[in-house]
Amino acid sequence: MKNTKHTALIVGGNGIIGKNLGQYLQEQEEWNVVITSRSTLTYETKAAFVAMDLSKSNAVKKHAKKLKEVTHIFYAAYSEKQDPYEQTEANLSLLTNLVDKVEDYLPKLERILFIQGGKAYGAHLGFYKTPAYETDLRSITPNFYYDQEDYLRTISKGKSWNWTAIRPDIVMGFTIKNPMNMANLLSVYASLCKEEGIPMRFPGSAKAYEILANVTHVDVLSKAMQWAAENKETENEIFNITNGDVFRWSQLWPKIGEFFGVSVAEPQTFALNEYMPGKKDLWKKMVKKYGLKAYELDELVQWGFGDFIFNVETDAFQDVNKARRFGFHEMNGDTETKLINTFKELQTEKIIPTFE
């Protein structure tokens, strides 16, 4: 055990956020790390692991002895439901099962940091006011971020712990079997186009090709979560966190094509989710041809995620100056470089081909 000031409990350890945050905090001298997930982790880690099913109300009590040193909870768990009301109920239940009487089982707890995101502004509805500010008003539509936030605001009153909300937008980075990941989608799509010798066309609308957008790389997000955890000024606050720049797909798309050595033609609107699953046999051949790790296409990519992102026809980006005013200065604005570096990591790990 390191001589540390803090012990993190990362909830949602198999997700792109939890996995990368765990790796990052293990490199920080002042942190010990405990990771929890309902299922066994899909990767190797030196962090302590506790299998905890938050659909059960006694989950924390059951593992209290293993968690007694925890000072900070980083909450990035998520339950997918098609019905928005069911989704809200399910995700609020996960959080309440974790937090209810948490101070009885985690006596050293200081803060709960939880992930929100663009959905807090209505990004999932296709249009919202931009730039989006942390003070923007809510929508009438059901949203589990609202319910989770209201719950933590209420239950933390008079307690020895507090909360901070972090709002990234379109999280990207290296991860496997977490297919709602823009870097995976772009790299697999480009690789398939390269293999077939056809141009990599933007599959969304011509209008969507020209909007302003932003994303959040896991490296920036992990640093932001550590910063927010270690500063008293950030308690009971909400912060937008992105790479710090905005881009147009029309500007970024040719750069992606250049990296993969594939030509780029004009946009052509088609549904990825309708046409790309049929490339699974081609991908299997590519796995064998290029000596890739044997992941199925649907383990790497969620095509419907791309269909939504690539058809947003209004600007979609967040203002991040509040976090800067509070002292976080890692949002230096270089999405192109971060994306290319993630592609290189995917190649190094033999997830996608390296074309000669």
* Predicted confidence band of residue 221 (pLDDT cuts 50, 70, 90): very high
Rounded to the nearest integer, the mean pLDDT of the chain is 95
Kindly state the average pLDDT of the residues 316-327.
98
Kindly state the average pLDDT of the residues 291-319.
96
Residue 1 clears pLDDT 70, i.e. is over it: no
Give the integer Cα–Cα distance in Å for 206 and 278: 24
Residue 25 clears pLDDT 70, i.e. is over it: yes
- Residue 101: closest CA among 78, 74, 67, 149: 67
Query: Domains of the chain by range and CATH?
Result: 6-168+218-240 (3.40.50.720), 171-215+246-348 (3.40.50.720)
The better pLDDT of the pair 180, 127 is held by 127
Residue type at 262 in one-letter notation? V
Residue 4 clears pLDDT 80, i.e. is over it: no
Decide: 57 and 93 in contact? Cβ < 8 Å. no
Q: Where are the alpha helices (DSSP H) in 231-279?
A: 249-260, 272-275
Kindly state the average pLDDT of the residues 92-109.
96
* Predicted confidence band of residue 237 (pLDDT cuts 50, 70, 90): very high
Report the SS3 class of residue 259.
Answer: helix
Report the SS3 class of residue 145.
Answer: helix
**pLDDT tens, position by position, 200-215:** 999 999 999 999 999 9
Entry pTM = 0.95
Kindly state the average pLDDT of the residues 103-116.
97
So what's the pLDDT on residue 239? 98
**pLDDT tens, position by position, 48-67:** 999 999 999 999 999 999 99
